[in-house]
Amino acid sequence: MFQPTLAQARHQLKDKKYSAVELLQAVYKRIDAFDSRVQAYVHLTRDIALKQAEAADQKISAGEDAPLLGIPIALKDLICMQGARTTCASHILEQFVSPYDATVVKRLKDAGAVLIGKTNMDEFAMGSSNENSWFHPTHNPWDLTRVPGGSSGGSGAAVAANECIAALGSDTGGSIRQPAGFCGITGLKPTYGRVSRFGLVAFASSFDQIGPMTKSVEDAALLMNVIAGHDPMDTTSADVPVPDYSAALPQSVKGLKMGIPKEYFTSGIDPEVERAVQNAIQSLESMGIEKVEVSLPHTEYAVATYYVLACAEASTNLSRYDGVRYGFRSEKSGTLMDMYTNTREEGFGEEVKRRILLGTFVLSSGYYDAYYLKGQKVRTLIKQDFDEAYKKCNVIVAPISPAPAFKFNEKLDDPLQMYLSDIFTISANLAGIPAMSIPCGLSEAGLPIGLQLMGKHFDEATLLNVGHQFQQTTDHHLKHPKL
């Protein structure tokens, strides 16, 4: 089966084993064969991609080079791409065509990438299962009766099913890492501010971060080299130096310390997940990484804090969808107020409305101090927990989720259970630190299990180094679903 990694495809294109157009055609052939079952995509950009692949072949023939020249890459459908629909998997933006490129898209184009289409997601990135998409649910390639995780489930499923060479997702509370864990791929949430958010449709602006979803840690490093860095168009973009992430991969990990947070290994974890994670910790120890226990005492407040703060920001961000300027407008509009109300009632799905209502409530007069302000204070405490822990270690190792991928409709009627599936990922977003998911085993039912690595602010290089060295000594990332 034709399924090169990004690194392999780069070398094979350079050596002219095949052309960029042939690689693109092979990827689209795979999509045509399997995506009716996986449903990873919501829109394909065949015409745009073909022109980009032809341009890449001309450059390769002329002896030119670029980091991603001719590589087919998919985008989560909340990343703006000029001339392509950007819907956030929502009825309210169903016909919206972006008039400009997000900064990450501009950087991908400058690096020679071929942008093949937009992947499915939970509507406005609100969900942990991809069941909240306006279009259709995405299926997990390892077991089509199960969810791929969310909200970047389309990107996760597309990479796992070899329907792209790599993809971009976004992570607000675990939306890159949880689907990466469920789909058996590598997913990195960079430090908040490391990758520009300009052109990313906002859910919660102080949490959202774009990152790579790939077949290996080596591929994630190659993508990070392209998308990371300061952007004057994004006021939250950090003006800090960007290392060469690929150069960090081969370094020795001997002497590094990994923190094992006692709060993450309590009751409620599936025994198979715990076993796989503990085996991974032993593998890391055998590589010369020292294990130390750390404490993150405010972990128990993370889920509540996240849903107060993220929903408050969502309530503010989503107030712009009112039927006036762009997007869907209800036809049942007698008065201006009717138009606002009916547009939002008909345009948003149930989960989005739930979060807008929750966010509006915690920001309302009389409740602001009790909820939103208190949430901000707890967020500071959670960040301080990590600062203390990193005095004793270089990385923190934990599970990605309490159990492997669950079945469709299993948690849909119980929002609280759905929210708790993000219990291990949310804290990294609250603290703004980088965190990565890598495969570390399969359950007895053949479902992938993810290992989470969390690092210090702007220290993605150490995460990528540790993850790459782990993948040099294990074969979990080389296993593929049999579609």
Query: Per residue in 383-404, pLDDT tens?
Result: 999 999 999 999 999 999 999 9
Cα 198 to chain centroid distance, Å, stands at 16
Q: Say which residue the tokens 């998997």 belong to.
A: 89
Indicate if the pLDDT at residue 466 is higher than 70: yes
Percent of the chain with pLDDT over 90: 93
Model confidence pLDDT, tens digit, residues 254-308: 999 999 999 998 878 999 999 999 999 999 999 999 999 999 999 999 999 999 9
Q: How far apart are CA 216 and CA 187, in angstroms?
A: 9
pLDDT of residue 333: 80
Host H or E run for residue 156: helix 153-160
pTM of the model: 0.97
Q: Looking at domain 6-257+392-478, which of 3.40.50.300, 3.30.930.10, 3.30.365.10, 3.90.1300.10 is its CATH number? A: 3.90.1300.10
pLDDT of residue 334: 85
Instruction: Check 76, 109, 215, 456 and give the catalytic one.
Output: 76
Residue 132 · residue 126 · CB < 8 Å: yes
Model confidence pLDDT, tens digit, residues 18-32: 999 999 999 999 999
The answer to whether residue 283 is catalytic is no
Q: Which one is predicted more confidently, 242 or 420?
A: 242
pLDDT of residue 419: 83
**Confidence label for 483 from pLDDT (cuts 50, 70 and 90):** confident
Host H or E run for residue 171: strand 166-171
Instruction: Check 90, 129, 133, 175 and give the catalytic one.
Output: 175
The answer to whether residue 237 is catalytic is no
Q: Residue range 336-340: average pLDDT?
A: 92
Model confidence pLDDT, tens digit, residues 207-234: 999 999 999 999 999 999 999 999 999 9
The answer to whether residue 319 is catalytic is no
Instruction: Check 128, 129, 133, 151 and give the catalytic one.
Output: 151
Indicate if the pLDDT at residue 34 is higher than 80: yes
Indicate if the pLDDT at residue 137 is higher than 80: yes
Q: Residue range 60-82: average pLDDT?
A: 97
CB neighbours of 342 closer than 8 A, spacing ≥ 6?
323, 330, 332, 333
Indicate if the pLDDT at residue 1 is higher than 70: no
CB neighbours of 266 closer than 8 A, spacing ≥ 6?
none
Give the C-alpha distances (Å, rounded to integers) separating 264 from 233, 294, 400: 37, 10, 10
Q: What is the mean pLDDT of the chain?
A: 96
Indicate if the pLDDT at residue 2 is higher than 70: no
Q: Residue range 169-193: average pLDDT?
A: 98
Domain boundaries, the chain: 6-257+392-478, 300-378
**Confidence label for 315 from pLDDT (cuts 50, 70 and 90):** very high
Q: How far apart are CA 138 and CA 292, in angstroms?
A: 39
